[in-house]
Chain A
């Protein structure tokens, strides 16, 4: 029964997403075709001078530059639906395979920082909420407040200065050591390269989840069943373990899933500072070098990424809701 409801829910969401994605694709295509970027020039780059007019014509033919926009769009859409996102101008490689490759790196980064931020943020939120009004609460609130006003890339540079330059604990950038063949890159190397950008994202990402958890904890503590639990003599950690934990954990996870958009944005900035070779670095390269196919590919992919996060968040919420209605305890 539960599985059926959840299945129906996911299906409904996915259908809505497909329409949304279509709108995103149309909009992106429209925007990009308005841009002053000359695809042939950006494709050829410095080779522009060397290539003959005939060759330029051929390339224009290949990209359909001279066709009406609508026709171009349908051609592009057809290719897109077949899984052909075109060829990246910067990397001179199939866009889909670049996204795959870069996403593995970005995923590791985001997964690590997302988990760290989640655990830390939940813990801080609980400490603040359980001790509302105390010094600890005010300190945590201040931390969240200041962090919400802090540019991600500035934190990244600061961590770079302190841990890489001053303390020399971590390398200055990149995903792997320079000049080492990828087979020889050890897990330790990878970890060293990922830790600082991940820490950056965690430090920033904590803010939202902490404040949300804090509020939720305060709401729960204000409820009738906590008054009763207190009347039963439950106090402090017992109270948290028995009642607060189960009533705040799932909402917290749910909210944390809904933050995938922020996470992706943060990753772009952190990857830029640490030259970490992920999707974020790729989209910046694509934008700076007028690499339209890669840009569009990443825009569509990031939409998908955000959708997955929101879907998971909503599924979790619906699940709690349905379980409470159907009477199965968690």
Chain B
């Protein structure tokens, strides 16, 4: 389901207006962690270097990158719950207004919701239902929660259970229930598909898509390109702390390939596309990178790639790529 499809009845002018009104817009975001390394020396970790993202209402954008590339910190940075010894730079706009730390604090849980990666994100000593209730402002909370539980396929009795007695799949449904109970417009799902079997995964993706169809924006952070290809409208490929490509899913399907060499490597690693193993690792976040971050692994790299850093540039219709030659 695409945004254009959604607003089919409106005039072109209106569509343009809505399209330019991003729900969330992130430009040149960087996050640096300062910590003590070996021998009491201060070490700077550039976990996020140059990140870009934009998302409309009703859209699903997947941020795809390798595991352990600091993607979870992206969510933290946007929500303003990043570690104290880290510094964030760059522009984040929410509904066209700069998203300051103060505003993040106000919007967390009210406008923006995190769907956490770990199933241990629920308070181990609190009843499951009680943890969903905090999103509901009206009276008769218990009944509303139980209704929502039924909607997401949970037994209402789960209301009284504590997390240690629930399976991973059930806890994921509770997260979805939270999204339904809340009035948020933007959902950031952090690796929502981790550890789910094929059936549970499809169901979860369906539920996420439903949330998007209800006019919410969904940012799905994942290492699973296959899952992303199922529901995302746009795919943002994340490598070495940078957005290396933002692609329209339909175009990728049509062309059968991505533009950026790294994205293509990810794509070719999928079973249905040849299962070519990826032969690159992430550069260490402690490293300063000159030139293109992917140059040392790129089969098409030239001298220029080693000395000059490519900027993310628009190719067409909002699709972007960070490569001189794509």
- Asked whether the complex places CB atoms of A and B closer than 8 A, the reply is yes
**Which residues of chain A have a CB within 8 Å of any CB of chain B?**
133, 223-225, 227-235, 242-243, 246-247, 324-330
Are the CB atoms of A227 and B116 closer together than 8 Å?
A: yes
Having A228-B122, A232-B108, A329-B130, one finds 20 other A-B pairs with CB under 8 Å, namely A133-B84, A224-B118, A224-B121, A225-B123, A225-B124, A227-B76, A227-B116, A227-B121, A230-B79, A231-B114, A231-B116, A233-B109, A234-B109, A234-B134, A235-B105, A242-B134, A324-B125, A324-B162, A324-B164, A329-B126
State A330–B125 Cα separation when bound (angstroms): 7
Contact of B160 with A by CB under 8 A: yes
State A235–B101 Cα separation when bound (angstroms): 13
For this complex, 11 residue pairs linking A to B, each with C-beta atoms less than 8 Å apart, are A224-B121, A227-B76, A229-B123, A230-B108, A231-B81, A233-B106, A247-B124, A247-B125, A324-B162, A327-B162, A329-B125
Contact of B127 with A by CB under 8 A: yes
Q: Which of B23-50 contact A (CB under 8 A)?
A: none
State A231–B182 Cα separation when bound (angstroms): 13
Chain B residues with a Cβ closer than 8 Å to the other chain, count = 32
Contact of B282 with A by CB under 8 A: no
Contact of B161 with A by CB under 8 A: yes
- Which 6 pairs of residues, A with B, have the shortest CB-CB distance? A233-B109, A327-B165, A231-B114, A228-B121, A232-B109, A233-B108
State A325–B166 Cα separation when bound (angstroms): 11
**Which residues of chain B have a CB within 8 Å of any CB of chain A?**
75-76, 79, 81, 84, 105-110, 113-114, 116, 118, 120-127, 130, 134-135, 160-162, 164-165, 178
State A233–B107 Cα separation when bound (angstroms): 7
Chain A residues positioned under 8 Å from B79 (CB to CB): 230-231
Are the CB atoms of B161 and A327 closer together than 8 Å?
A: yes
State A231–B77 Cα separation when bound (angstroms): 11
State A235–B134 Cα separation when bound (angstroms): 13
For the complex formed, measure the closest distance between the CB of A221 and the CB atoms of chain B, giving whole angstroms: 11
The residue on B at minimum CB distance from A247 is B125
Are the CB atoms of A224 and B120 closer together than 8 Å?
A: yes
Are the CB atoms of B109 and A324 closer together than 8 Å?
A: no
Chain A residues positioned under 8 Å from B127 (CB to CB): 329
Chain B residues positioned under 8 Å from A328 (CB to CB): 162
Chain B residues positioned under 8 Å from A223 (CB to CB): 120
